[in-house]
Amino acid sequence: MSLPPFFSERDGAIWLEDIELKAVCDQLGTPTYVYSRAAIEAAMSSYIRALGDHPGMICYAVKANSNLAVLQVLAKLGAGFDIVSGGELARVLAAGGSADRIVFSGVAKKPSEMRAALQAGIHCFNVESVAELQVLASVAQELGLEAPVSLRVNPDVDAKTHPYISTGLAENKFGISMDEAFDTYTLAHQTAGLRVIGIDCHIGSQLTELAPFADALDRVLALVDKLADAGITLEHVDAGGGLGVRYKSETPPDISDYVAALKGPLADRGLSLMLEPGRSIVANAGVLLMQVDFLKETEKHNFALVDAAMNDMLRPALYQAWMDIRPIQASAAKAKPWNVVGPVCETGDFLGKDRELAIEAGDRLALFGAGAYGFVMASNYNTRGRAAEVLVEGNRMHVVRKRETVEELFANESLITES
Ligand code: LLP
């Protein structure tokens, strides 16, 4: 398996841009997330280039990796942002993103979050139910503002991905069903405090084929045409995110083919295209570095006990995700199959199973594809501080998040006073 772009192997050692991964471990310890600025920029630039002069916006899905420096790099390239909470709104603004390039997704937004987003002047709210529409209208009216809205419809297509990250089926909690969508648009159109500007859908994540995206878009466009006939003209279609990446042997479509397939059918209708990619911008721009603390060979398995765990990287435990694991330096050890597991007290705490690795205690490993849905899903389970994060830029490494200390973990707790 070849390394993702911007990683290279030099004399048996792995580098990211012009930084040797060993240098990051030596300087900061492990576990540590490392991202490449050039890789993030290359992916975002591919989207921007693919959109070309078709009107629209590439709104990076902040949930995939919300480190301020990552958002800053993307904001500098002119990215828009797809947020799902007031917290993400605050992050984007703190990182220099502009409010009028933000879309606000999410199945349940609090009135306080709606207020903050309205006051900031975001581009659009992606609304997922009649109840949410009504609350948004009343919050906007209280503020004397108009909320720009798009309805997230659920096109009921099978994204053919892991069930936990499939969102566009009738059985999922997301979106408004196609049957109810027309009436909901009519209601939104007539409600004071709302300005209907678009439609959106998001059918799932880690999709490796174009067909489900195209199917969903067809269904969405049939509704757009029906709405236009009824006098409700939309400005944009937001096709969501979901383009998959290569973790092992997947062959997802190129960003350019994906965008071309979506913008094609919009051109004659004069609709702009919004996209909300997350994973395909950051996943392969990052690795999680860890150290092998102990090797433990049992009758059934060989365990490599590493210092990263499910609290640092949940994807293998939660989705049985396969992510490549490699030593960052060549070793003289004999290769054997290892289960790479963390120190957390759960059998589900594994990062990889049955991996053929030549390793010894003390060696460092890199888990690839870790730039998306890695650090952002980390927890403090087992009172483990969250990892440090580093952004590499050529031969410079920026520590963009310090490792969390134990004192920080209980800083908000207090002992009770014994009577
Ligand atoms: N837009 C909406 C409304 C979403 O719900 C998502 C992801 C995205 C955009 C971005 O999708 P992407 O381009 O990243 O596929 N934690 C899981 C992935 C959860 C995705 C949730 N929604 C994982 O690690 O695989």
Q: What pLDDT score does 255 carry?
A: 98
- Interstrand relation of 396-401 and 102-104 (parallel, antiparallel or unpaired): unpaired
Q: Choose the final residue of a domain: 277, 295, 316.
A: 277
Is the Cβ–Cβ distance between 154 and 242 less than 8 Å?
Answer: no
Residue in this structure with the two tokens 């049985």, named with its chain if needed: 320
For atom 5 of ligand 1, the residue with the nearest CA is 202
Specify if 55 maps to a domain. no
At 159, is the pLDDT very low, low, confident or very high (cuts 50, 70, 90)? confident
Q: Are residues 186 and 111 in the same domain?
A: yes
CA of 278 to the centre of ligand 1 (A): 6
Please state, in angstroms and rounded to a whole number, the distance separating the CA atoms of residues 17 and 74.
18
For atom 7 of ligand 1, the residue with the nearest CA is 205
Token pair listed for 346:
């759960």
Mean pLDDT of 29-57: 98
Specify if 268 maps to a domain. yes
Is the Cβ–Cβ distance between 153 and 169 less than 8 Å?
Answer: no
Please state, in angstroms and rounded to a whole number, the distance separating the CA atoms of residues 71 and 76.
9
Ligand 1, pocket-test mutation among 153, 173, 200, 276, most atoms within 8 A of CB: 276
Please state, in angstroms and rounded to a whole number, the distance separating the CA atoms of residues 341 and 321.
14
Please state, in angstroms and rounded to a whole number, the distance separating the CA atoms of residues 181 and 151.
8
Q: Using the atom order of ligand 1, give the atom closest to the CA of residue 244.
A: 15
Active site residues: 345
Question: 418: Cβ–Cβ under 8 A, 6 or more apart, which residues?
Answer: none
CA of 68 to the centre of ligand 1 (A): 19
Asked whether the predicted pLDDT for residue 164 surpasses 80, the reply is: no
Asked whether the predicted pLDDT for residue 162 surpasses 80, the reply is: no
Q: Are residues 268 and 365 in the same domain?
A: no
Specify if 121 maps to a domain. yes
For atom 9 of ligand 1, the residue with the nearest CA is 241
pLDDT in tens, 356-371: 999 999 999 999 999 9
CA of 65 to the centre of ligand 1 (A): 11
- Which residues have any ligand 1 atom within 6 Å of their CB? 61, 64, 82, 105, 165, 202, 205-206, 240-243, 276-280, 315, 319, 373
Q: Are residues 151 and 190 in the same domain?
A: yes
Query: Of 416, 232, 181, 206, nearest to 321 (Cα)?
Result: 206
Specify if 86 maps to a domain. no
Number of domains the chain is built from = 2
Specify if 59 maps to a domain. no
Q: Using the atom order of ligand 1, give the atom closest to the CA of residue 242.
A: 15
pLDDT in tens, 224-273: 999 999 999 999 999 999 999 999 999 999 999 999 999 999 988 999 99
CA of 183 to the centre of ligand 1 (A): 28
Please state, in angstroms and rounded to a whole number, the distance separating the CA atoms of residues 207 and 242.
6
Specify if 54 maps to a domain. no
Q: Using the atom order of ligand 1, give the atom closest to the CA of residue 206.
A: 15
CB atoms within 10 A of CB 390: 25
Domain of residue 251, CATH code: 3.20.20.10
What pairs with residue 388 in β-bridges?
Answer: 32
Mean pLDDT of 393-412: 98
For atom 19 of ligand 1, the residue with the nearest CA is 165
Specify if 357 maps to a domain. yes
Q: Are residues 312 and 244 in the same domain?
A: no
Q: What pLDDT score does 402 carry?
A: 98
pLDDT in tens, 91-135: 999 999 999 999 999 999 999 999 999 999 999 999 999 999 999
At 217, is the pLDDT very low, low, confident or very high (cuts 50, 70, 90)? very high
pLDDT in tens, 262-309: 999 998 899 999 999 999 999 999 999 999 999 999 999 999 999 999
Q: Are residues 219 and 198 in the same domain?
A: yes
Q: Are residues 143 and 261 in the same domain?
A: yes
Q: Are residues 329 and 233 in the same domain?
A: no
Please state, in angstroms and rounded to a whole number, the distance separating the CA atoms of residues 40 and 139.
36
Q: What pLDDT score does 348 carry?
A: 94
Is the Cβ–Cβ distance between 122 and 88 less than 8 Å?
Answer: no
Q: Are residues 232 and 127 in the same domain?
A: yes
Three-state secondary-structure class, residue 124: strand
Is the Cβ–Cβ distance between 6 and 17 less than 8 Å?
Answer: yes
Ligand 1, pocket-test mutation among 102, 169, 205, 243, most atoms within 8 A of CB: 205
Q: Using the atom order of ligand 1, give the atom closest to the CA of residue 278.
A: 14
Question: 74: Cβ–Cβ under 8 A, 6 or more apart, which residues?
Answer: 40, 44, 60, 81, 97, 281
Q: Choose the final residue of a domain: 257, 277, 297.
A: 277
Three-state secondary-structure class, residue 342: coil
Three-state secondary-structure class, residue 44: helix
CA of 328 to the centre of ligand 1 (A): 29
Q: Are residues 301 and 218 in the same domain?
A: no
Query: Of 214, 314, 193, 333, nearest to 263 (Cα)?
Result: 214
Task: For the chain, give the mean pLDDT.
Answer: 96
Asked whether the predicted pLDDT for residue 409 surpasses 80, the reply is: yes
Query: Phi first, then psi: what are they for 72, rounded to 5°?
Result: -60, -45
Is the Cβ–Cβ distance between 187 and 165 less than 8 Å?
Answer: no
For atom 6 of ligand 1, the residue with the nearest CA is 241
Question: 53: Cβ–Cβ under 8 A, 6 or more apart, which residues?
Answer: none
Tallying the residues shown for the chain, one arrives at: 419
Ligand 1, pocket-test mutation among 60, 63, 318, most atoms within 8 A of CB: 63
At 174, is the pLDDT very low, low, confident or very high (cuts 50, 70, 90)? confident
CB atoms within 10 A of CB 391: 23
Mean pLDDT of 338-345: 97
Q: Are residues 252 and 336 in the same domain?
A: no
Q: Are residues 238 and 154 in the same domain?
A: yes
Please state, in angstroms and rounded to a whole number, the distance separating the CA atoms of residues 177 and 168.
10
CA of 127 to the centre of ligand 1 (A): 17
Q: Choose the final residue of a domain: 244, 277, 310.
A: 277
Query: Of 247, 345, 334, nearest to 305 (Cα)?
Result: 345
Asked whether the predicted pLDDT for residue 45 surpasses 90, the reply is: yes
Domain that holds residue 370: 7-36+283-410
Q: What pLDDT score does 306 carry?
A: 98
Q: Are residues 304 and 336 in the same domain?
A: yes
Specify if 60 maps to a domain. no
Domain of residue 318, CATH code: 2.40.37.10
Q: Using the atom order of ligand 1, give the atom closest to the CA of residue 315.
A: 24
Q: What pLDDT score does 160 carry?
A: 75
CA of 231 to the centre of ligand 1 (A): 33
